[in-house]
Amino acid sequence: MFNPNGNEIITLAGRDYQVQPLNVGKLAATPPALRIIHGARAEVFQLRDTSTNTLLALKVMRPPFRKPALIRNRALLAQLSNVRGFEACQLTYFTPQSHPNDLAHYPDLEYASLMPWIGGMTWSSVLDSRTQFPINDSTSWKLAYDLLVSLTVLERNHTAHCDLGSNNVIVDLQNPQTTLIDFDEVYWPDAPVPAGLPTGTPGYRRGTQNQWKASGDRFATAILVAELLGWRNAQIQNRSSGESFFSEAEYNDLSSARYLELQEFLDQLDSKLGSLFRKAWNAHSTEVCPSIQDWRRALAEAQHWKAIPLDYRDAFQINWSAVKHDLANLSGQPSGPALAIASPPLVNGQAAGPQTQPSPSSAAVVNPDTPHPVASQPTPPTIGCMILFALMVLGLLGWWILFVPH
């Protein structure tokens, strides 16, 4: 397995990166301990670009999971990477076709990926700490709503994360917002069926049902939102089972003490929120769980908003033609833009400088309740023709009002 030393310089695609050591204060480890995250399928190392000081994450797959299928989602993720909350989708994959020289030097990096390092902490770390990271009412609302906006982007585009849980949600408690990570299992229409269908994240699933479907995130969303809303309450914090509020066994227990306590809290917070959580808990499959948009609407109503606040992310639509074209031409093609390695510096977990994202004004005309079609999206010339036609109609109407006798 890839095993660099802390502070070691490694060269990838002609750029130098320093493997970041773990900051242990005055007691420096010998050799330096690594800033690394250990997972079941991969290890994630923190690197620093020596030219730009940008922090990046190098995800190295364990040998059984180094498979070409990892890059089947690259075109989809490249589009999502321009949307806030999905910065971790800006990936460069190391494949035998795209980086033969790097793999000759570091063979364990086959099908590894390089991405921006997301600032903040995993929601699982907050849950596991219990009362160490309390949040107030305002932060609780903002985190829950921000997560729902991101997940609505996926749901509206008939897409699902499929491995949603506290380990894959990064939270910024100072500037309340969330970021989703680890999209290896993502579902999208007409995607190649994976060899092993994902069954979800322990603590955020009911049993080991297949989660690889458009509704695959619904049950996990209900649990995450309930946790985020409940964390304002010290009694709820003290009841956490660890890296998830519920243990795996509790999802088959309708009399679970943790469930009853969190259910009572949500009922008191807002009856509609309590009703949605009860419906999700009693659902026998993700298809009958409340939709993510149901949760978003309920949170807006609970805060007495007259309408669901629109977010520029509501304007985002996946260009399915580009995704399917890339999939059809995947064999022998580069695995990602080379410039993805030279990512711009991150500020508070976001890329600095101009962002390629819709303006707030463009989002104001989008109804988040309306699903976007799976078919290919209109090309810019088609949209231009529609706008021109609308202007012509308005012009004729104005002429009729001004010059035709009434």
One DSSP character per residue, 230-287 reads: HTTSHHHHHT--SSSSS-GGGGG-TT-HHHHHHHHHHHHH-HHHHHHHHHHHH-SSGG
Q: Quick count: other Cβ atoms within 10 Å of Cβ 52?
A: 13
Give me the CATH number covering residue 227.
1.10.510.10
How much is the pTM? 0.80
DSSP letter (8 states) at residue 187: B
Q: Are residues 128 and 42 in the same domain?
A: no
Residue 266 in domain: yes
Q: Are residues 158 and 254 in the same domain?
A: yes
Highest mean pLDDT among 23-32, 101-110, 376-385: 101-110
Average pLDDT over residues 63-80: 94
Question: At a CB cut-off of 8 Å and minimum separation 6, what does 91 contact?
Answer: 74, 77, 78, 81, 113, 114, 115, 336, 340
- Give how far the C-alpha of residue 224 lies from the chain's centroid of Cα atoms, to the nearest Å: 13
Q: Are residues 180 and 38 in the same domain?
A: no
Q: Are residues 13 and 77 in the same domain?
A: yes
Residue 346 has pLDDT above 70, yes or no: no
Q: Are residues 8 and 81 in the same domain?
A: yes
Q: Are residues 235 and 328 in the same domain?
A: no
pLDDT tens figures, 303-337:
988 788 889 999 999 999 999 999 998 854 544 44
Q: Are residues 391 and 336 in the same domain?
A: no
β-pairing, 36-38 vs 42-49, is: antiparallel
What are the backbone angles phi and psi of residue 114, rounded to the nearest 5°?
Answer: -115, 135
Residue 364 has pLDDT above 50, yes or no: no
Q: Are residues 368 and 382 in the same domain?
A: no
Which H or E element spans position 48?
strand 42-49
CB distance 22 to 111 below 8 Å:
no
CB distance 218 to 289 below 8 Å:
yes
- Cα distance between residue 69 and residue 75, in whole Å: 13
- Cα distance between residue 116 and residue 135, in whole Å: 26
What are the backbone angles phi and psi of residue 122, rounded to the nearest 5°?
Answer: -70, 150
Question: At a CB cut-off of 8 Å and minimum separation 6, what does 42 contact?
Answer: 59, 60, 61, 62, 65
Average pLDDT over residues 231-248: 93
Q: Are residues 157 and 295 in the same domain?
A: yes
State the pLDDT confidence band at 397, using cuts at 50, 70 and 90.
low
Q: How many domains are there within the chain?
A: 3
- Give how far the C-alpha of residue 180 lies from the chain's centroid of Cα atoms, to the nearest Å: 3
Q: Are residues 163 and 246 in the same domain?
A: yes
Confidence (pLDDT) at 341: 38
CB distance 230 to 266 below 8 Å:
yes
Q: Which two tokens stand for residue 45?
A: 């190392």
Confidence (pLDDT) at 331: 52
Q: Which domain holds residue 341?
A: 1-117+320-375
pLDDT tens figures, 109-121:
999 999 999 989 9
Q: Are residues 10 and 95 in the same domain?
A: yes
Confidence (pLDDT) at 24: 34
State the pLDDT confidence band at 1, using cuts at 50, 70 and 90.
confident
Residue 315 in domain: no
From 265, 283, 309, the end of a domain falls on 309
Residue 314 in domain: no
305: helix, coil or strand?
A: coil
From 263, 278, 309, the end of a domain falls on 309
